[in-house]
Amino acid sequence: MTETTLSDELDDARALEQRSERAAAYADGPDGHDHHATNTGISNPKLAMWVFLGSECLLFGGLISTFLLYKHNNQAGGPTPHELYDIELTSISSFVLLMSSLTMVLAVSAIQRGEHSRLRLWLATTAILGATFIAGQVYEFQVFVKEGLGFTTNAAGSAFFALTGFHGVHVSLGIVMLLSALVLSLAGRIPQARAEAVEIVGLYWHFVDVVWVLIFTVVYLIP
């Protein structure tokens, strides 16, 4: 719908066509997917989530740049994160988080097929995998602190905890969303026709996972 057409007739024809399409969409009412007729064909909430995630990229961009700037900076004393990494542990918890994207996909496809108990199973699994990741992060933070690297120890520590902590908060919010979806489903408020609600939570969840892949690479893999 983005092209300009110079001929008015063509425009007229297209406009009328669109008008009748949209009129039909309005008149039909329930179309099985229960959203408004929109210009893009993507529902408002889903588009809003995409747009929001676009801005999140910049937030993480700022934090990742900060980490890159400071990762070896321990002029205030103390160790740097690089000296403390337990790469095996983090690899495992990263793997766990990636698997949760898979279970999320399964949850979405379950509800799209109307399989409610499967939906709940996969939502719960995803939440548990997410929580496992968070547990790993809490454990890692606590080890770091014990080894002498706290949030305020040096610039590298501040940058490390801020970046991974922000990501952890995002995962935790995602878990809250998953659990809310689970509760709503148990209350019977997620019929198949509202599969999109789960899909939107899924979008957020995948985004958080993808960001972790980036963070894992930047923070843990690149020396």
Contacts to other proteins from residues 47-106, by CB under 8 A: 47-48, 51-52, 54-56, 58-59, 61-63, 65-66, 69-70, 73, 75-76
As a residue count, the chain comes to: 223
By CB under 8 A, residue 36 contacts other proteins: yes
Among 87, 152, 213, 217, binds other proteins (CB under 8 A): 152
Cα of 164 vs its chain's centroid, Å: 15
Closest distance to other proteins from the beta carbon of 101 (Å): 23
> Which lies closer to other proteins via its Cβ, residue 38 or residue 142?
38
By CB under 8 A, residue 148 contacts other proteins: no
Closest distance to other proteins from the beta carbon of 223 (Å): 20
Angle subtended at Cα 54 by Cα 48 and Cα 55, rounded to the nearest 5 degrees = 95
Q: Determine contact, residues 216/105, Cβ cutoff 8 Å.
A: no
Q: How many residues bind other proteins (CB under 8 A)?
A: 70
Type of residue found at 151 = F
Q: Determine contact, residues 214/169, Cβ cutoff 8 Å.
A: no
State how far the alpha carbon of 34 is from the alpha carbons of 20, 22, 44, 49, 193, in Å: 19, 14, 11, 17, 7
Number of neighbouring beta carbons within 10 Å of residue 78: 16
> Which lies closer to other proteins via its Cβ, residue 24 or residue 222?
24
Contact segment (CB under 8 A) with other proteins among 37-45, 105-113, 127-135, 202-210 equals 37-45
By CB under 8 A, residue 39 contacts other proteins: yes
Interaction pattern, residues 107-126, with other proteins; x per rule: CB under 8 A: -------x-x----------
By CB under 8 A, residue 146 contacts other proteins: no
Contact segment (CB under 8 A) with other proteins among 31-39, 89-97, 100-108, 122-130 equals 31-39
By CB under 8 A, residue 139 contacts other proteins: no
**Nearest to 42, CA basis, from 53, 55, 54, 51:** 51
Angle between helices 195-215 and 44-70 (to 10 degrees): 10
